Amino acid sequence: MNYFSLNHNAPRSTFKNAVIKGLAPDKGLYFPESITPLPKSFFENIDNLSYPEIAFEAIKQFVSPEIPEETLKTIVKETLSFDFPVVKLNDNISTLELFHGPTMAFKDVGARFMARCLGYFNQDNDKEVTVLVATSGDTGGAVANGFLGVKGVNVVILYPSGKVSDIQEKQLTTLGQNIKALEVNGTFDDCQAMVKTAFLDESLTSKMQLTSANSINVARWLPQLFYFMFAYKQLHNTHKDVVFSVPSGNFGNICAGMMAQQLGLPIKQFVAANNANNVVTRYLLSQLYEPKPSIQTISNAMDVGAPSNFIRIQEIYKNKFEILKENLSSYSFSDDETKEAMLEIFNNYNYVADPHGAVGYLGCKSYLKNNPSAHCVFLETAHPTKFLDVVEEVIKEKQPLPEQIQSVMGKTKEAYSISNYEDLKIFLLKS
């Protein structure tokens, strides 16, 4: 499979090159040259397939022939070493739990898959690769855990000071080894801008090999399509139209779901559930795409004012607004509405949702008002105890810490403070 830049001013790329480079030379995101739908029989017989078998068939075309099939099967099996249960709340709403991995966030899938791909590509290479990644919360911990100890790979994670939860910060600042954390005096958008600037700085890239593990990287982004298929396997016997409500920040997750749809997965529609950072909600109302500085909210992983992956979504739907609107709805919710939803879910269903999942739940409710016959699945993207202060304040009940969280709580934070791109560049050149 070859990949092209969405800025259309760079040479075609192999999967390997796209993974190692992250961004195209013209600053564009890579996108697969073609998407071949899976046969209808694949979805008709999905009950007979294991999760690794589903994932292998779904991803194979995007990585072949550069990763041999047996190697890919091993990568997929190692990536999917935990469960993806669908929990039914009522006849019309379920949640897909994506927090059963090592860092208890949906990004474990993409980070583990990418780490194994990069490890395979780098196995005979003496030149070290530096993975440079910005995080608004969960990406950092997932990438740190996924790449910990990978041969020939150093990881540098930028995160906005005071804008991630204590547990999220611990997960990305306490591992040591080949993982380094940079605490940025700014927002996630500032972190992301620095990462993109570094990729295009020839005085830096001439001295070191940089790649990204944000969802701009195809190996981090594409495997997220797996769990939409896993949810469909669990729900298709309801004989209702399946709709996914995805808490959306950088839009990589919902974009991966749309790739699953392109592969033939029968998804009726997607709901982009936004917090106050609602550039896409406004776009669908006005057709004006106006990124703005991010606003801090209690659903911090979605605090993104300029979502990178929206250009991929536009490409999927041929850059035609009307086709996009047929497949995507979007709603925006305040912190107060999010807290009310968390309490409603707890009181009505005895289920503890994190703030991001609660925004997804509100997206379901909004969609179902005009589409009452659908079955809407909201993604519970992180374990609620990762946002302990908000969750316990809202539901007024103490929450036990899972083992994955307990294991980092007593560790000492190690992070370097930076304020601008020059600080980042100096750090990278000295590392």
| 3-state SS, residue 132 | strand
Is 196 one of the catalytic residues? no
Strand order in the sheet with 13-14: 13-14, 2-5, 30-32
Q: Residue for token digits 């966030």?
A: 105
Among 233, 222, 250, which residue's Cα sits nearest to residue 96?
233
Alpha helices for 64-149 (secondary structure H): 69-79, 107-121, 138-147
Give residues with Cβ within 8 angstroms of 73, minimum separation 6. 52, 56
Where are the extended beta strands (E) located within 105-223? 129-134, 153-160, 179-184, 209-211
Radius of gyration of the chain (CA): 20
Catalytic residue from among 21, 60, 107, 411: 107
Contact (Cβ atoms closer than 8 angstroms) between residue 179 and residue 144 = yes
Beta bridge partners of 3: 13, 32
Contact (Cβ atoms closer than 8 angstroms) between residue 23 and residue 29 = yes
Q: Residue for token digits 């979504």?
A: 313
Among 97, 139, 166, 108, which residue's Cα sits nearest to residue 353?
97
Task: Supply the residues annotated as catalytic.
Answer: 107
